C-alpha cells in the first residue's frame, strides 16, 4: 500500500485527470442522452460506438500520462527506488493502480451510457448495463497495461502515442494484428464484429491476456531500466 500511494495520489490530486474524466463522461453521456431523446430503437448500441472507439482509449491514455509523467514508467518511481524500494515492485504498483482506476472509470461510464441511451430494441437494461460494466472495466485495465508498455520503453508521449496509433490502425483492420490490440475485442464484446470472426468469449479471454501480458512486460522493462 505504501508503494501504491504515490501513483494513487498522482491520479487523485491531478487536475488533468479530473478534467479529462469529467469531459469524457459529459461527452459520452451527452451522446447517450441524444439517442434517448430521439427515441433510437438501438440507442445503447449507437452510444457505445463513441464510448468504445474514442472515449475509453483516450481516457486511459490520459490516466497513464498522469501516472508516469514525462519521464516514463521507470523514472516515475525514482523517489521510492532511492529510498530502497525494488524498481520492479514500484513499477508493478504504478501499473496496478492505473489499471484499477481505468477499469473503475471505464466500467462505470459504459454502464451509465447503456442505462441512459437504452432503446426499445436493446437488451434488458439491467443485464445490458451490468455486462457493459464488466466488459468496460476489463477493457480499461487492458488499455492501461497496453499503454504502460509504451511508457516503459520510451519516455514522454512517444511510446504511449505509438501504441495508441497501433491500436487504432490494427484494431479497425481484419488482420491478425487486430487480435493484439484492445480495440477490436472491446467492440466485439459490445456487439460489433470480432476480428477474424472471433467469438465474444474469445475476445474476453484475449482482453484478459493482453492485460496480464502487457502488465508483466511493462514491469519487467521498468525493473531493468537504469534511472
**Alpha-carbon dihedral 75, 164, 56, 43, rounded to 10 degrees:** 180
pLDDT: which is higher, 83 or 95:
95
Number of domains in the chain: 1
Query: Residue 173: its pLDDT value, please?
Result: 80
Residue 189 structural domain:
2-223
Residue pair 141/213 in contact by the 8 Å Cβ criterion? no
Query: Residue 202: its pLDDT value, please?
Result: 94
What are 116-142's pLDDT values in tens digits? 999 888 889 999 999 999 999 999 999
29 contact partners, CB below 8 Å, separation of at least 6: 109, 112, 113, 116
Is 173 buried (19+), middle (13-18) or exposed (0-12) by CB count in 10 A?
Answer: middle
pTM more than 0.75:
yes
Amino acid at each position: 500500500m505504501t508503494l501504491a500511494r504515490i501513483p494513487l495520489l498522482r491520479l487523485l490530486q491531478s487536475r488533468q485527470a479530473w478534467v479529462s474524466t469529467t469531459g469524457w463522461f459529459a461527452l459520452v453521456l451527452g451522446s447517450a442522452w441524444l439517442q434517448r431523446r430521439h427515441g433510437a430503437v438501438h440507442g445503447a448500441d449507437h452510444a457505445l460506438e463513441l464510448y468504445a472507439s474514442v472515449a475509453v482509449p483516450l481516457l486511459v491514455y490520459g490516466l497513464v500520462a498522469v501516472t508516469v509523467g514525462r519521464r516514463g514508467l521507470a523514472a516515475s518511481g525514482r523517489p521510492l527506488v532511492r529510498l530502497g524500494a525494488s524498481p520492479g515492485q514500484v513499477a508493478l504498483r504504478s501499473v496496478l493502480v492505473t489499471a484499477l482506476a481505468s477499469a473503475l472509470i471505464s466500467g462505470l461510464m459504459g454502464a451509465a451510457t447503456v442505462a441512459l441511451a437504452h432503446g426499445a430494441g436493446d437488451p434488458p437494461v439491467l443485464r445490458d448495463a451490468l455486462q457493459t460494466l464488466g466488459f468496460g472495466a476489463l477493457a480499461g485495465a487492458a488499455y492501461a497495461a497496453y499503454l504502460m508498455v509504451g511508457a516503459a520503453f520510451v519516455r514522454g508521449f512517444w511510446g504511449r502515442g505509438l501504441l495508441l496509433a497501433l491500436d487504432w490502425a490494427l484494431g479497425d483492420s481484419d488482420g491478425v494484428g487486430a487480435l493484439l490490440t484492445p480495440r477490436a475485442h472491446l467492440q466485439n464484446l459490445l456487439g460489433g464484429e470480432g476480428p477474424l470472426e472471433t467469438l465474444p468469449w474469445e475476445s474476453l479471454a484475449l482482453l484478459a491476456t493482453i492485460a496480464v501480458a502487457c502488465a508483466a512486460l511493462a514491469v519487467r522493462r521498468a525493473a531493468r531500466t537504469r534511472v
